[in-house]
Amino acid sequence: MTLEEEVVRICQDLIRIPSVNFGEGRGDERAVAEYVVASLAEVGIESKIYESAPNRCNVIARIEGADSSRPGLVVHGHIDVVPANAQDWSVDPFGAVIKDGMIWGRGAVDMKNVDAMILAIVRKWARIGYKPPRTIVLAFFADEEAGMTFGSRWMASQHPEVFEGCTEAISEVGGFSVTVGDGKRLYFVEAAQKGIHWMKLTATGRAGHGSMMNDENALTALTEAVAKIGKYEWPQRYTSTVKKLFKKIADATGKRYDENDLRPLLSEIGPTARMIGATLQNTANPTMLEAGYKANVIPGSATAVIDGRFLPGYEDELNQTIRSIIGPDISIETISRDIALEVEFEGDLVDAMCNAILQFDPDGIPVPYLMSGGTDNKALSELGIIGYGFSPLKLPEDLDFMALFHGVDERVPISGLEFGVKVLENFLENC
**193-338 adopts what CATH topology?**
Alpha-Beta Plaits (3.30.70)
Q: Three-state secondary structure along the chain?
A: CCHHHHHHHHHHHHHCCCCEEEECCEECCHHHHHHHHHHHHCCCCCEEEEEEECCEEEEEEEECCCCCCCCEEEEEEECCECCCCHHHCCCCCCCCCEECCEEECCCCCCCHHHHHHHHHHHHHHHHHCCCCCCCEEEEEECCHHHCCCCCHHHHHHHCHHHHCCEEEEEECCCCEEEEECCCEEEEEEEEEECEEEEEEEEEECCCEECCCCCCCCHHHHHHHHHHHHHHCCCCCCCCHHHHHHHHHHHHHHCCCCCCCCCHHHHHHHHHHHHHHHCCCCCEEEEEEEEECCCCCEECCEEEEEEEEEECCCCHHHHHHHHHHHHCCCCEEEEEEEECCEECCCCCHHHHHHHHHHHHHCCCCEEEEEEECCCCCHHHHHCCCCEEEECCCECCCCCCCHHHHCCCCCCEEEHHHHHHHHHHHHHHHCCC
Note the residue count of the chain.
431
Span(s) in the chain for CATH 3.30.70.360: 193-338
Buried b (16+ CB within 10 A) or exposed e, 168-194: bbbbbbbbbbbbbeeebbbbbbbbbbb
Distance, in Å, from the CA atom of 91 to the CA atom of 82, rounded to the nearest integer, reads 17
φ, ψ dihedrals at 200, nearest 5°: -105, 125
Distance, in Å, from the CA atom of 112 to the CA atom of 420, rounded to the nearest integer, reads 13
CATH class given for the domain over 3-173+375-428? alpha beta
Q: What is the CA radius of gyration of the chain?
A: 23
Residue 196, strand partner residues: 309, 338
Predicted local distance difference test score (pLDDT) of residue 24: 87
* pLDDT of the chain, 431 residues: tens digit per residue: 899 999 999 999 999 999 999 998 999 999 999 999 999 999 999 999 999 999 999 999 999 999 999 999 999 999 999 999 999 999 999 999 999 999 999 999 999 999 999 999 999 999 999 999 999 999 999 999 988 999 999 999 999 999 999 999 999 999 999 999 889 999 999 999 999 999 999 999 999 998 998 999 999 999 999 999 999 999 999 999 999 999 999 999 999 999 999 999 999 999 999 999 999 999 999 999 999 999 999 999 999 999 999 999 999 999 999 999 999 999 999 998 999 999 999 999 999 999 999 999 999 999 999 999 899 999 999 999 999 999 999 999 988 998 899 999 999 999 999 999 999 999 999 99
Span(s) in the chain for CATH 3.40.630.10: 3-173+375-428
With contact defined as beta carbons under 8 Å apart, do 7 and 418 qualify? yes
With contact defined as beta carbons under 8 Å apart, do 388 and 295 qualify? no
